[in-house]
A and B are shown apart, each in its own frame.
Chain A
Amino acid sequence: MTGSSPEYRPGAYREAAAHSLRETPMVRDSVGSATRTFDSLRAHAYADVESDRWRDWARDVKGHALTHLDQYLEQAERSLVRNGVHVHWAATAEDVHRVIAKVVETHGVRTVVKSKSMLSEELDVNAHLESLGVRPVETDLGEYIIQLLDEPPSHIVGPAIHRSLDDCRVLFHERLGTPLDSEPDELAAAARAALREDFLSADLGISGGNFLAADTGTVALIENEGNIRLTTSVPRVHVALVGIEKVVPRFEDLAGLLQLTARAATGQPIGLFVSLIQGPRTGDEVDGPEEVHVVLVDNGRTTLFEDDVAWEALRCVRCGACLNICPVYRQTGGHAYGWTYSGPIGAIISPGLLGLDRALPLPHASSLCGACTDVCPVRIPIPELLIHWRERTVDEGRNSTAERLGMKAYAGLAERPGAFSAAASALRWTPWRAAGRALPVLSGWVQERDAPSPSPRSFRDLWREGIE
């Protein structure tokens, strides 16, 4: 393999991960340090409260919403319309693009300020805006960095955690003219100044939505920088892209969900800024957008909902806690996964959103250590869902013939103890490196490790001879 980056698609996971480990070891350092910090903050924040109870509660609120999803979506639509919001339903990314194109056309939009939204990444909104001749400006500092680098985000919450301070110094020096030895606060001030211009001149703000309360039609957004508040407050028009799984029954439910999401994501009691948006500016308000659109986006979510096991993944609140604790994610960061959602949650929702064929081998990108489930604020049984997708891979005949036949043979042996122990003993004395050609499981092992030395005699033999 050469030094150039492998393709950005889930199917290239192994190559991309290997490439990242070999060619950019500093990514592992940056990601490892950021995720371990996030996770330790989360652990403290969980310990401050009765987090098991909080998580049970959140699991059930999201579970209740999902098992009544059609009703709450209809109620949310009624509430939003009552608040003066334009509601759109989008089955696909193209549907979303059409809504945005219409808004752009109607309002003669030239510049769009955007606040970090994974859904917008999933839908390729920036490329679409550029195709319309519109300039999209990412305003979250991390998103701003990766937009300048022309890279996708590598983490749900910290999109640029794979980049070091020195990377940023060089980038800002080249793009904003800051000195190469600038301190982080000086770099942030330069970004603030550049982005402030865009906030004041943009005609449209595009945000995501963390939650949508059905009863009041409230779009809730969590952040720390204030850029979401600005994106949704300063431009004349605001478009919120909201996944259909984000709806929750009641305004009061946000009380727990906002706090738990912040604790899970960054260990904070709550995001420094929370926006609770009901609709466009009303008569007694001095500012705010005159027009608000909410796009309810499916884009594969109903397919995930139709899966009788994997639907539980729709409870996800995108806190990134599973990424932070995942020992697999920690080695490479998110780019190796080849799509918007990385880490454990990416491995269980991508097969639903993209289709299993396009998402493989992501469900295998886990040692099934279970650390993710320990921290998930909505208690998604992630290892179970990983195994579920692996089972579907087998059921749909998408794994290799060698693996399928090998497992059948293995199970056959396991039912015949005499043959099993004979085969096991034979394997014990097989030189792994030489046998790797026939058994890929062995060549995969010896590629990175020494073959284990077998016991001189099997336990079976020791037992037969008597153990003292």
Chain B
Amino acid sequence: MNTRDQILTAIRAARERRTPVEHPGRFGGWRPVEPPPPLEGFEAMFTQAGGEVVHVSGTVERDDWLRTFLAEFQHLSMGAGVPPGIADLGPTRINPGDEHAADVGVSMARGAIAETGSLMMDARDGRRAQLLPPVLVVLVDRSTVHATVADAFESARGDLSAAIGLHSGPSKSADIGQVMVKGVHGPGRVIAVLA
């Protein structure tokens, strides 16, 4: 018998003696108080974790904001999902594969989650661009902000890429003497731009 079958056989033999437990159904995220509307909730949670939120009314305002914000940076890495037309932003665009050389990145979220203040980052947008620059700007379409993680996962399950990352604030660690520091490996500054 191969290892796989050995393991499964041992489990089956023991399982005979276990009273089956029923699946409890969908996670309800039960809370004592009614949560705020999704956009408000997302902003509250994301900023509480150290993230920043910018509201823009449309693509023109968004691009204006980007141009102003990015002016102080030298090298920009750009997610593949960022809408075309945001080409000429100031910093030099670096090539895919060289994201570690960028001092700022712009990525496109596939959605966001109010319950946890999370940005849903898709592998199709480019994972290095989401992780290597020390400062990350994430574009979010307001209509993709889900109320709960369960809602977001239900909507995502039919269209899963190789990896989805939930980013809920800047990278942090308290491993050195229990003192909280930012930007350990992932971006130390994350700005969600809601358009």
Contacts and interface: CB of A to CB of B under 8 A. Distances in A.
Interface of A: 30, 33-34, 37, 48-50, 53-54, 56-57, 60-61, 63-64, 66-70, 73-74, 83, 89-91, 95, 139-142, 145, 158-161, 163-168, 184-185, 187-189, 191-192, 195-196, 199-200, 216, 218, 224-227, 229-230, 232-234, 244, 249, 251-256, 258-259, 268-282, 284-288, 296, 298, 302, 305-306, 308, 311
B123 A285 contact: yes
B115 A49 contact: no
Contacts of B178: 30, 33-34, 37, 158, 161, 165
A142 B177 CA distance: 10
Contact of B162 (A195, A255, A279): A279
A49 B162 contact: no
Interface in B1-59: 2-4, 6-8, 10-15, 17-24, 26-32, 45, 49
Contact of B20 (A68, A232, A252, A255): A68
A145 B176 contact: yes
A225 B169 CA distance: 10
Interface of B, secondary structure class, is loop
21 contacts: A50-B30, A63-B21, A67-B15, A73-B8, A89-B3, A160-B175, A161-B178, A185-B181, A225-B184, A229-B131, A251-B160, A256-B149, A256-B150, A272-B168, A273-B167, A284-B161, A285-B124, A286-B96, A287-B126, A305-B10, A311-B14
Given A139-B185, A270-B117, 20 more contacts: A56-B24, A61-B24, A64-B22, A89-B2, A158-B175, A159-B175, A160-B176, A192-B184, A224-B171, A227-B186, A230-B185, A233-B123, A251-B153, A255-B148, A256-B29, A256-B150, A273-B165, A277-B163, A281-B123, A305-B11
- Residue in B8, B153, B173, B175 with the greatest tally of chain A CB atoms within 10 Å: B175
A203 to B, nearest CB: 16
A284 B181 contact: no
A252 B79 CA distance: 27
Contacts, number: 270
Given A192-B185, A225-B186, A273-B186, A216 B148 contact: no
A302 B20 contact: no
A165 B176 contact: yes
B7 A49 contact: no
B169 A277 contact: no
